[in-house]
């Protein structure tokens, strides 16, 4: 992670305010490198994958240089798919949240021309388009690029793979000669290099170094999961993993707090750790973790820097790290003091390309993490319930409780099984999920190769399908410790958010 702050990078004040509102703590490495170059108006060649924070790396500096009083199209971003176009447009909207007058418009195939024409007529300072549709509008004269200040080619290698490279070149040739240009690509195949040489004169090249380092004594696992199922996956991991203490990494300060609240609601002893937390509080949190008053910490990379708590048996990467350095640092929070540790990485389909990079950097392949089947999970929950129940058979209140229940049973002509059943139903009503009554549903797991269908981009032919309008700005108590599984609390519904 970079030690620089966003404020030091020279971004426009309203852009900075928006960044701080989304809760980004520090610039990711690609941002720290690219932002100063783009702010100077220079051309840039960025070797960066999805997940490195590349969208903000170009959106923040370009927004800082925009003339918000003019409705002319000043920035054009080309993306391979409509999903990515929508996502990038949403990012621009977020970062321009403090602008008084701001319009971004995604344009892509599959959507009717008419609403796009209307929106284009109204004017949008930023256009995010797929190559085919962008070219259509240029040819019809409905998109004018004469006042364009900057153009970005995002995921250039994907555009090449999808056969858009000629369209891309035609579009670049239509942009003003003095227009700033940047190209981002995960790989740099020869045709992309050629485009860069031809159209990005004197481009500065930035890339994320991937230092190779072996991660010893740490077993590394990966769990492919749909983005919207990450919370369910984490809940199950914490349910089945026999952890002592765990650290869970997320990307933003806001997420440390939000996720800590969700985990606390599931009965875990958990604290957030982020850069907003003052030194005294931070020391207290670390001390609580060391002493076992807390078992889970939800942290950002910055906040976890140098954290050394031998009790940490598990590192869970809830959000993927920005670069291999950050990954190595994260997993290094376990396996301390000669112990062994386990690291589990949650990867959504769109982040899958990260895997290979990480494996290369750490010199070791990651094993597939196996979540238990619903049947196995149910069996485990029943066993744990039983062991928790048995934990109360020596409770000092047992004598009085039995006398009370016996009396009720006799007067109402019930047997004790009926009384126990009624009590259990009561417990379940008071705390839904406390009893393992229903078999849990299987967690849908993305299958390798099917990544293009559900997640944000990479849908071949995506340009031709679908509609999407443009944007306008506008603790439970614990019984006896469970027989196995980590700090399992009485269960709440997995699906609860
Ligand atoms: P990207 O690589 O552009 O697809 O970004 C990946 C994710 O990282 C997005 O969800 C961004 O909101 C998030 N992100 C980008 N920059 C930062 C940052 N400096 N701090 C925290 N999260 C970030």
pLDDT digits (tens, 9 = 90+) for 19-54: 999 999 899 889 999 999 999 999 999 998 777 889
In a domain, 392, yes or no: yes
What are the φ and ψ backbone dihedral angles of 221, each rounded to 5 degrees?
-125, 155
The pick from 29, 52, 55 for probing ligand 1's pocket by mutation, whose C-beta has the most ligand atoms within 8 angstroms, reads: 55
Structure tokens that stand for 439 in this block? 């078999």
319 and 238 in one domain?
A: yes
Residue 49 Cα: closest atom of ligand 1: 2
pLDDT 10s digits, 338-366: 678 999 999 999 888 888 888 888 877 89
Q: What spacing in Å lies between the alpha carbon of 23 and ligand 1's midpoint? A: 10
In a domain, 33, yes or no: yes
Residue for token pair 């490195």 = 52
247 and 172 in one domain?
A: no
Sheet-wide strand order for 104-107: 104-107, 126-129, 75-78, 150-153, 180-185, 44-47, 204-207
Whether pTM exceeds 0.85: no
389 and 253 in one domain?
A: no
Residue 337 is predicted with a pLDDT of 65
413 and 302 in one domain?
A: no
224 and 174 in one domain?
A: no
The pick from 35, 251, 357 for probing ligand 1's pocket by mutation, whose C-beta has the most ligand atoms within 8 angstroms, reads: 251
194 and 98 in one domain?
A: yes
In a domain, 494, yes or no: no
Q: What spacing in Å lies between the alpha carbon of 305 and ligand 1's midpoint? A: 19
In a domain, 203, yes or no: yes
108 and 31 in one domain?
A: yes
309 and 193 in one domain?
A: no
In a domain, 333, yes or no: yes
385 and 342 in one domain?
A: no
348 and 255 in one domain?
A: yes
Q: What spacing in Å lies between the alpha carbon of 274 and ligand 1's midpoint? A: 16
Which residue has the CA at smallest separation from atom 5 of ligand 1?
A: 53
Residues with CB under 6 A from ligand 1: 24-25, 27-28, 31, 50-56, 251-252
The pick from 28, 32, 34, 354 for probing ligand 1's pocket by mutation, whose C-beta has the most ligand atoms within 8 angstroms, reads: 28
Total domains in the chain come to 3
**Domain containing residue 143:** 6-209+465-472
175 and 88 in one domain?
A: yes
In a domain, 243, yes or no: yes
In a domain, 133, yes or no: yes
Cα 79 to Cα 58: distance, rounded to the nearest angstrom: 13
CATH number, domain containing residue 340: 3.40.50.300
126 and 235 in one domain?
A: no
pLDDT 10s digits, 304-334: 887 888 899 999 999 999 888 889 889 988 8
In a domain, 407, yes or no: yes
As a whole number of Å, the CA-based R_g of the chain is 27
Structure tokens that stand for 319 in this block? 């959000």
Q: What spacing in Å lies between the alpha carbon of 266 and ligand 1's midpoint? A: 27
């Amino acid at each position: 992670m970079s030690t620089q702050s966003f404020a030091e990078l020279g971004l426009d004040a309203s852009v900075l305010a928006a960044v701080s509102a989304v809760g980004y703590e520090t610039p990711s490495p690609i941002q720290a490198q690219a932002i100063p170059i783009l702010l100077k108006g220079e051309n840039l060649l960025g070797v960066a994958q999805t997940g490195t924070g590349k969208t903000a790396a170009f959106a923040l500096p370009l927004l800082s240089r925009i003339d918000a009083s003019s409705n002319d199209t000043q920035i054009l971003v080309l993306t391979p798919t409509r999903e990515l176009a929508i996502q990038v447009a949403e990012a621009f909207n977020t970062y321009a949240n403090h602008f008084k007058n701001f319009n971004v418009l995604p344009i892509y195939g599959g959507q009717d021309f008419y609403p796009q024409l209307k929106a284009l007529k109204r004017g949008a300072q930023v256009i995010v388009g797929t190559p085919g549709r962008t070219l259509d509008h240029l040819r019809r004269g409905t998109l004018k690029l004469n006042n364009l200040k900057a153009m970005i080619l995002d995921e250039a290698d994907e555009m090449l793979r999808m056969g858009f490279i000629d369209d891309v070149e035609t579009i670049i040739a239509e942009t003003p000669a003095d227009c700033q240009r940047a190209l981002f690509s995960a790989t740099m195949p020869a045709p992309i290099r050629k485009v860069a040489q031809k159209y990005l004169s004197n481009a500065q090249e930035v890339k994320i170094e991937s230092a190779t380092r072996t991660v010893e004594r740490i077993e590394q696992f990966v769990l492919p999961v749909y983005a919207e199922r990450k919370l369910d996956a984490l809940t199950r991991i914490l349910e089945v993993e026999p952890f002592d203490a765990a650290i869970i990494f997320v990307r933003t300060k806001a997420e440390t707090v939000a996720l800590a609240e969700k985990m606390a609601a599931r009965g875990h002893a958990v604290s957030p750790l982020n850069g907003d937390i003052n030194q005294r509080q931070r020391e207290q949190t670390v001390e609580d973790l060391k002493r076992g008053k807390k078992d889970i910490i939800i942290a950002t990379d910055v906040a976890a820097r140098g954290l050394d708590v031998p009790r940490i048996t598990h590192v869970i990467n809830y959000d993927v790290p920005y670069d291999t350095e950050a990954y190595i640092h994260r997993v290094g929070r376990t396996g301390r003091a000669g112990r062994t540790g386990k690291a589990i990485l949650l990867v959504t389909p769109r982040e899958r390309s990260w895997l290979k990079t990480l494996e290369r950097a750490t010199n070791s392949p990651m094993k597939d993490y196996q979540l238990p089947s619903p049947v196995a999970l149910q069996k485990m929950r029943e066993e744990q319930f039983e062991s928790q129940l048995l934990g109360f058979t020596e409770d000092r209140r047992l004598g009085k409780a039995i006398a009370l229940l016996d009396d009720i049973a006799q007067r109402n002509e019930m047997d004790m099984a009926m009384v126990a059943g009624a009590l259990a139903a009561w417990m379940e009503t008071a705390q839904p999920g406390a009893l393992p009554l229903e078999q849990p549903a299987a967690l849908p797991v993305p299958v390798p190769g099917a990544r293009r269908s559900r997640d944000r981009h990479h849908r071949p032919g995506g340009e031709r399908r679908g509609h999407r309008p443009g944007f306008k700005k506008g603790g439970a108590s614990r019984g006896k410790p469970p027989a196995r599984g980590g700090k399992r609390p009485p269960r709440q519904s997995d699906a609860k958010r």
